[in-house]
């Protein structure tokens, strides 16, 4: 477990340099260089309500949850809703719905509340104003009065150019003059122009970026609303977040975050940048690879348990990625040192496999409850459960059930020719076989798959039809299909009366 360590203060470095090795020196070294193993682990998931969360966001949420629970800590959800122009109505509720479906339950959230609330950024604006003023007063930030037109011109000259720091060195008198005249302004970070921003990443190892490549990022926009880079630092500190798990795309933003922590005199959390999700062709994951939100997968008939498993294996090294694991088992297994650096491949076939295994494993009663949303309301519950026993071994998703079971509830239209094609015999010979089969079915008192198999097999042996010809013709007659679950089990579920009715309709 990696916990933030205390740096050795300069006065202690000097002390150690002039002191012989002793017990007191050892104590000082332990205090400042050994990880603070008593630190409390707190992680967060901080989505924006600008749409339904991407599957990659949900993977990050899962990893943050597992890390917190692994060490007996707290996992919280914080809503980053300061970009009102891009906000999508209803997406906030979908964020919570996804986490609830997957069992990634927060200890604190906008819904649940908690000791560090409010957990919605738009309700914390006064805090951001307070800390932006502290940065101004300390010289770590400055007012920028550049007009939008000027900034647009800079961008048109070079779309990759950083802000030219035109307002970075304005005199106090000039700043005051602009303020009095009511010139709109933003607040920018006064990033160092030399040196490097270096940190140890929990996943990526030691990382370093030259400060000369960093921009003087806007912290507070003209409307007084903070940008992501500023609000996230303030909130993570005030909410006592110890570990931040996020995608590798945020590595380039880390220098501004570290600068703000240092400028405010705060210790940054441990950072863990997890790998990207790529399609099987190694390109950026998109809809053409089958990627969608968790809600989309649930609507397609995937079980939340399978989705959890699938996400767990995306970027986490585990000895057997075919194992079916509950969330509690994932918590036990999770080890932040085993998060992979290389990008993870999103393979929909892997999700299909895991989902099929969860369907096979799940008790019928539980599976039936999950299935209700995917079948007609007038289908008989007991019959559905009987069919489930037969077809769940062949199902990849819950949506596979209704097409596989439909003929049990609605008699298919079957032509005599399609039955003859299966029997391979003349109509007269096939009719004789059907009359024999109907007679046996009608007279049999023990209407079970075993009894039906025994009686019909005996009749087939003297019918002149091979087993395949005899039983495939019956199969097509009662289902309209050449592939079904075991024939005699199907006859039992249909019942004697319905079976006889369907067989009689073929050559009537």
8 A C-beta contact, residue 67 and residue 337: no
Q: Is the pLDDT of residue 25 over 60?
A: no
- Comparing CA positions, the residue from 103, 119, 122 lying closest to residue 111 is 119
Confidence of residue 3 (pLDDT cuts 50, 70, 90): very low
For 461-481, the pLDDT digits (tens) are 999 999 999 999 999 999 999
Q: What number is the average pLDDT over the span 235-246?
A: 98
Q: Is the pLDDT of residue 18 over 90?
A: no
Q: Which of 13-22, 346-355, 423-432 has the lowest mean pLDDT?
A: 13-22
Give the number of other CB atoms < 10 A from CB of residue 343.
17
Catalytic residue selected from 157, 282, 287, 428: 287
8 A C-beta contact, residue 343 and residue 275: yes
For 252-292, the pLDDT digits (tens) are 999 999 999 999 999 999 999 999 999 888 888 877 777 78
pLDDT of residue 323: 86
pLDDT of residue 321: 62
Mean pLDDT, the chain, whole residue set: 90
CATH topology (fold) of 287-360: 1.10.1160
Return phi, psi of residue 461, to 5°: -60, -25
Q: What number is the average pLDDT over the span 339-350?
A: 93
Q: Is the pLDDT of residue 33 over 80?
A: no
Q: What number is the average pLDDT over the span 63-87?
A: 96
Where exactly are the structural domains of the chain?
1-37, 125-274, 287-360, 362-409, 416-506
pLDDT of residue 14: 38
Sign of the alpha-carbon torsion through 18, 19, 20, 25: negative
Q: Is the pLDDT of residue 137 over 60?
A: yes
Cα separation, 28 vs 33, in Å, equals 9
Confidence of residue 5 (pLDDT cuts 50, 70, 90): very low
- Comparing CA positions, the residue from 399, 480, 392, 471 lying closest to residue 436 is 471
Quick one: which H or E segment has residue 470?
helix 467-479
Burial 218-237 (b: 16+ CB within 10 A, else e): bbbbeeebbbbbbbbbbbbb
Q: What number is the average pLDDT over the span 127-138?
A: 98
For 149-194, the pLDDT digits (tens) are 999 888 888 777 789 999 999 999 999 999 999 999 999 999 999 9
Strands (E), 295-397: 344-345
pLDDT of residue 468: 95
Cα separation, 207 vs 125, in Å, equals 32
Q: Full-prediction pTM beyond 0.75?
A: yes
pLDDT of residue 322: 65
- Comparing CA positions, the residue from 435, 412, 418 lying closest to residue 473 is 418
pLDDT of residue 384: 98
- Does the annotation mark 287 as catalytic? yes
Q: What number is the average pLDDT over the span 38-51?
A: 91
For 79-94, the pLDDT digits (tens) are 999 988 899 999 999 9
Q: What number is the average pLDDT over the span 332-356?
A: 94
Quick one: which H or E segment has residue 143?
strand 141-144
pLDDT of residue 289: 78
Q: What number is the average pLDDT over the span 432-454?
A: 96
Q: Which of 27-36, 307-316, 327-336, 418-427 has the lowest mean pLDDT?
A: 27-36
pLDDT of residue 4: 41
Q: What number is the average pLDDT over the span 449-459?
A: 97
Helix (H, G, I), strand (E, B) or coil at 403: helix
At the second CATH level, the architecture of 416-506 is Orthogonal Bundle (1.10)
pLDDT of residue 484: 95
For 369-424, the pLDDT digits (tens) are 999 999 999 999 999 999 999 999 999 999 999 999 999 999 999 999 999 999 99
pLDDT of residue 15: 31
CATH number attached to the domain at 125-274: 3.40.50.620
């Amino acid at each position: 477990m990696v916990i933030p360590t205390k740096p050795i203060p300069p006065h202690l470095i000097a002390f150690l340099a002039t002191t012989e090795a002793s017990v007191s020196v050892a104590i000082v070294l332990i205090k400042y260089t050994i990880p603070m193993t008593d630190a409390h682990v707190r992680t967060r998931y901080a989505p924006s309500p600008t749409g339904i969360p991407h599957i990659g966001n949900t993977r990050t949420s899962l990893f943050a949850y597992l890390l917190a629970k692994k060490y007996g800590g707290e996992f919280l959800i914080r809503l980053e809703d300061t970009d009102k122009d891009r906000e999508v109505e209803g997406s906030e509720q979908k964020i919570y719905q996804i986490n609830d479906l997957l069992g990634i339950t927060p200890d604190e959230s906008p819904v649940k509340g908690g000791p560090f609330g409010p957990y919605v950024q738009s309700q914390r604006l006064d805090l951001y104003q307070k800390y932006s003023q502290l940065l101004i007063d300390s010289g770590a930030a400055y007012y920028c009065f550049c007009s939008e037109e000027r900034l647009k011109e800079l961008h048109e000259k070079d779309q990759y150019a950083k802000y030219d720091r035109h307002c970075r060195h304005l005199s106090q008198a000039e700043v005051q003059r602009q303020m009095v005249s009511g010139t709109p302004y933003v607040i920018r970070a006064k990033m160092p122009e030399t040196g490097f921003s270096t940190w140890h990443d929990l996943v990526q190892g030691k990382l370093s970026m030259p400060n000369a490549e960093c921009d003087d990022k806007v912290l507070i926009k003209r409307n007084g609303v903070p940008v992501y880079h500023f609000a996230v630092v303030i909130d993570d500190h005030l909410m006592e977040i110890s570990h931040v798990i996020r995608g590798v795309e945020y590595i380039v933003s880390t220098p501004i975050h570290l600068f703000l922590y240092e400028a405010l005199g705060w210790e940054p959390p441990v950072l863990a940048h997890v790998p990207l999700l790529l399609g099987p062709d190694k390109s950026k994951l998109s809809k053409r690879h089958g990627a969608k939100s968790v809600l989309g997968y649930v609507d397609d008939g995937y079980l939340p348990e399978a989705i959890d498993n699938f996400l767990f294996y995306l970027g986490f090294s585990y000895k057997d990625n075919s194992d079916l694991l509950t969330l509690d088992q994932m918590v036990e297994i999770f080890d932040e040192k085993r998060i992979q650096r290389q990008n993870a491949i999103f393979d929909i076939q892997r999700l299909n496999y895991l989902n099929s295994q969860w369907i096979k494993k799940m008790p019928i009663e539980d599976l039936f409850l999950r299935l209700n949303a995917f079948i007609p309301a007038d289908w008989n519950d007991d019959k559905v459960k009987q069919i489930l026993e037969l077809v769940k071994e062949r199902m990849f998703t819950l949506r596979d059930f209704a097409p596989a079971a439909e003929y049990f509830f609605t008699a298919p239209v079957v032509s005599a020719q399609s039955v003859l094609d299966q029997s391979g015999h003349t109509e007269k010979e096939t009719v004789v076989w059907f009359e024999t089969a109907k007679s046996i079915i009608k007279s049999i008192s023990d209407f079970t798959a075993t009894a039906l198999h025994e009686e019909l097999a005996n009749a087939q042996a003297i019918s002149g039809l091979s087993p395949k010809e005899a039983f495939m013709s019956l199969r097509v007659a009662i289902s309209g299909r050449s592939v079904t679950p075991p024939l005699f089990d199907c006859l039992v579920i249909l019942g004697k009366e319905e079976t006889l009715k369907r067989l009689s309709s073929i050559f009537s």
